[in-house]
Chains A and B, each alone.
Chain A
Amino acid sequence: MSAIDWTIIGLYLAWIVWDGIRMSRDTGKIEGYFLASKSLPWWAVGLSVMATQLSAITMTSSTGQGYADGIGLLQQYYALPIAMIIISVTFVPFFRNANIYTAYEYLERRFDARVRSMTALLFLFSRGMGTGVVISAPAVVLSVLIGADISTICVLLAVPTAIYTMYGGVQAVAWTDVKQMYLIVFGLVAATVTLVTGLPDSISVTDALTLAGTAGKLQAFNFSTDPSVRFTFWTGTLGALFLFLSYFGTDQSQVQRYLTAKSDAEAQTSLFMSAYWKIPLQALVMIIGVLMFVFYLFTPPPMLFNSVHEQRVRASARAGEYAGLEQRFTAAVDARSAAAQQLAQAERLGDSTAIAAQQAAFRDSEAQVKGVRTEAVALVKDVTGDRSYNDVNYVFPTYIVTQMPVGLIGLLMAAIFAAAMSSIAGELSALATSTVMDFYRRWVRSDADDAHLLRVSRFAMLFWALFASVVAIWAAELGSLIEVVNRFGSFFYGSILGVFLLAIGWSRANAIGALVGLVAGMSVVAYFTLYTNVAFLWHNLIGAVVVFVVGMIVSEVTGPRKA
């Protein structure tokens, strides 16, 4: 990267820290620090909700999945608008009328302190781990780009975020989220424009999409009922519905957002921003992956996008084997490029016989390219010992650095930083809020004044920033990052949602029922995770249903009372 691009990234980092501190108001009081004194407008809350959910993983791993497998991942978001309606009807008025700081506080009022503490503890554990994964995505990207140690980059990324979050609390988080969201959208649009203008003159956008469609990259709907298939219309609408209900309805990082809104109506409206825009935004991300696939049909791609791993294989005893694969890869890529040109030509002429023949030739050559890449990835795993190596995470960053103009490279990298920092900041704020309000104030110092709680809150944020950085280093060793995040979430999400559904939906539910149901739900999800190949999105539904049913039965048996 050039000095100009590094300067842009540096300016962005300095500006966002300064802006976060500048926009903080009323942070001398705990309500101002954690709830922005319930003063934020709906659009700021809405953008903050979207920015927290859209992490650097979305920018790097999802675009890579679009490149490798097409837009099927998009199905995971189909239930989001429906989830938002359900949440705005149920959770939003419940939480706001309860006048609480954390979602789990509500469970103490409904059940008892044990249920609150247990769900808060699960949140802290799973979200602390998840934040680590969110940090590791851009760290992995930068480690390949500049050859720096991943752990150093994790800390460098977490520290600026921790500074403005510690200083300004949730207001700093929300207002920086707004700016970061603008930067992210600008970056995505700029990447799309660059990709489209980078196509050969003979290939139009329609040609590009037809080629992608022929290669099976535009399958936005998969109606398979096989429960082991990860992304289908059914996992996206039923399984993911429970994931979103849990994430937006019970996860402190999201609940805290709509607790900061001026009114119930503004909180509900902020959620509808995601309902309207999340699917189109995610579609844009996936289309960038698909356009990269088309771009690399006509511009020879590297066989592997992780140059560090590639160099290690070249320096190993199996370098000859790798060179042989490269020769086959080059031949397959050339054949695919020729087949793509001929297919586009046949499409323009409208010759159905030629189209069918060229489609077969194009698909065959694409299969060969994929086959060689699979062999190359297996070779990398053997040589490096990195069993979870997933090349797709490196596709978009490599495209940015090698194909985009100077200046835009810096802006795109800043956008990836923005995506990571907006998510990290939201999570740190939520983790600190839960730590202080659900544990410290509840169990240690219930009489503490605001000044004392603020000091503890800032210390808690620092602790979670360090914890997440350590997890990030470990998470970088795992597989495709987006799935890792969702796996962490799915293990607990469904079960925690089940407890809230029990609290809101079953008037005779009691604390014993909630606790037994929670343990039962997590046990069943653990069984499905360890011993079956049922897709992880189903785990949310399974967990929620088990908790609700078991909790209901136990409550009926033990009586409608507090334990």
Chain B
Amino acid sequence: MSSVRTTYVKVIAVWAITLAALYAFQVYFSR
């Protein structure tokens, strides 16, 4: 995989993790 594609995958992975963390944050503190 080229370095540019690797960067795109990294951006999407970080994005998905960020949104998942925010969702977990919402669920945990909004019981």
- Contact in complex: A214, B30 (CB < 8 Å): yes
A283 CA / B22 CA spacing, docked (Å): 9
Contact of B25 among A78, A85, A220, A269 (CB under 8 A): A220
Chain B 1-31, CB-CB to A under 8 Å as 1, else 0, gives 0001001100110110011001101101111
**A218: Cβ under 8 A from any B Cβ:** yes
**In the complex, what residues of B have CB within 8 A of residue A84's CB?**
11
Contact of A81 among B4, B12, B28, B30 (CB under 8 A): B12
* Known pairs A272-B11, A275-B14, A279-B22 / 16 extra A-B pairs, C-beta < 8 Å: A78-B19, A81-B11, A82-B12, A82-B15, A84-B11, A85-B8, A210-B29, A213-B26, A213-B31, A218-B26, A218-B30, A219-B26, A220-B23, A221-B22, A221-B26, A280-B18
A471 CA / B5 CA spacing, docked (Å): 44
A345 CA / B8 CA spacing, docked (Å): 46
A84 CA / B30 CA spacing, docked (Å): 31
A interface residues with partner B (beta carbon < 8 Å): 74, 78, 81-82, 84-85, 209-210, 212-214, 216, 218-221, 265, 268-269, 272, 275-276, 279-280, 283
Contact of B30 among A74, A219, A279, A280 (CB under 8 A): A219
**In the complex, what residues of A have CB within 8 A of residue B30's CB?**
213-214, 216, 218-219
B15 to chain A, nearest CB (A): 4
Q: Given A210-B29, A214-B30, A279-B18, do A221 and B23 touch, yes or no (CB 8 Å)?
A: yes
- 11 residue pairs from A and B, CB less than 8 Å apart: A81-B12, A81-B15, A210-B29, A212-B29, A218-B26, A219-B30, A220-B25, A276-B14, A279-B18, A279-B22, A283-B22
- Contact in complex: A275, B11 (CB < 8 Å): yes
A306 to chain B, nearest CB (A): 30
A239 to chain B, nearest CB (A): 17
Q: What 5 A-B pairs have minimum CB-CB distances, sorted nearest first? A: A213-B29, A213-B30, A81-B15, A220-B22, A209-B29
B29 to chain A, nearest CB (A): 3
Nearest-neighbor residue (CB-CB) of B14 within chain A: A276
Counting chain A CB atoms within 10 Å of each CB, the highest count among B11, B26, B28, B30 belongs to B30
A275 CA / B18 CA spacing, docked (Å): 11
**In the complex, what residues of B have CB within 8 A of residue A216's CB?**
30
**In the complex, what residues of B have CB within 8 A of residue A213's CB?**
26, 28-31
A78 to chain B, nearest CB (A): 7
A50 to chain B, nearest CB (A): 15
**In the complex, what residues of A have CB within 8 A of residue B29's CB?**
209-210, 212-213, 218
Nearest-neighbor residue (CB-CB) of B9 within chain A: A85
- Contact in complex: B22, A74 (CB < 8 Å): yes
Nearest-neighbor residue (CB-CB) of A89 within chain B: B8
Q: Given A74-B22, A218-B30, A279-B18, do A85 and B4 touch, yes or no (CB 8 Å)?
A: no
Nearest-neighbor residue (CB-CB) of B15 within chain A: A81
Counting chain A CB atoms within 10 Å of each CB, the highest count among B8, B23, B28 belongs to B8
A268 CA / B8 CA spacing, docked (Å): 11
**In the complex, what residues of B have CB within 8 A of residue A269's CB?**
7
A275 CA / B15 CA spacing, docked (Å): 8
A212 CA / B22 CA spacing, docked (Å): 15
Contact of A218 among B4, B8, B25 (CB under 8 A): B25
A15 to chain B, nearest CB (A): 34
Counting chain B CB atoms within 10 Å of each CB, the highest count among A210, A220, A268 belongs to A220
A246 CA / B8 CA spacing, docked (Å): 20
A70 CA / B15 CA spacing, docked (Å): 21
A62 to chain B, nearest CB (A): 16
Nearest-neighbor residue (CB-CB) of B16 within chain A: A81
A276 CA / B12 CA spacing, docked (Å): 9
A214 CA / B28 CA spacing, docked (Å): 11
